[in-house]
A = this chain, B = another copy of it.
Amino acid sequence: MTSSTPAAGRGKRPPHGDPVLDRGLALLAAFDREHQRLSLLELVRRSGIPKSSAARLAGRLTAWGALERDADGRYCIGLRLLQVASLAPRGQGLRETALPFMRDLAGAVHQHVLLVVRDGEQGVLVDRISSHRALSPLYHPGDRLPLHSTGAGLVLLAHAPVQVQEALLAQDLVQQPEHIPVRADVLRRTLAGVRRNQLATLRRGEPVPMVTVAAPVTAQGGSVVAALSVVVPQRHADVRRIGGAVRTAARGISRVLAERGHAG
């Protein structure tokens, strides 16, 4: 079967990846927040996989439940993946422990409460609690977010291995969504401050003036496994009070993680 695919025909040695599995994963990767429902032709265009192969693999993914088809025949991500993803220890396990504390915090601050973990040089939003009247959020659960320009990201970056920090500091970093260049020496000082205070504070001007206050969540042994942050409008924000609340909730999550033997 694989002999009909261009990738398999390139050489005599087996290719580095697995063409079929990689193609199946590429079909899943064709979906994003702005493209949650795709026709077969859109899948073909966005994944670069030939139509016959895409149709066959999408059929297998649908049979398994990784994809579903809606009433119009378009493909979308299926519930089976939700079930499998719920077994990610760095996602659901952490989330179940954190959510009651996040709700306590949300009740006190009435805006956004975020739980973020680091994946390489990016953060992943594990969950967010937003009040009814909260301003429209920048990130949705599952989204990747930049470490250097989010409050939770600064906490995670400050506690990341040195090679991750250096790799990021070597890049041309830009504060999003304002497009302001970030100087490496300034970021180094910021990270040192975050480690010293065990708290990151980040102000952003767009889309509206907001302030983020974030604190580290640790696992058994003290390693930082997540960051908890609160995002509120700058107007009327009492950063000192919010900092105390975020730190207290983060400590509560860390305590329960340690009790449950969560090793990160």
Contacts and interface: CB of A to CB of B under 8 A. Distances in A.
| Interface band, chain A | 35 or more
B22 A85 contact: no
Q: Name the residue among A82, A124, A129, A141 with the largest chain B CB count within 10 angstroms.
A: A82
B68 A77 contact: no
Contacts of A103: 103, 106, 129
B87 A142 contact: yes
A33 interface: yes
Nearest to A78: B88
A76 B84 CA distance: 10
A56 to B, nearest CB: 7
Contact of A96 (B85, B117, B140): B140
Question: How many copies of this chain?
Answer: 2
Interface string A64-83: 11101011000011111111
A60 B92 contact: no
Interface stretch (A13-21, A40-48, A236-244): A13-21
A36 B223 CA distance: 21
A60 B21 contact: yes
A25 interface: yes
Given A60-B18, A124-B82, A131-B100, A37 B89 contact: yes
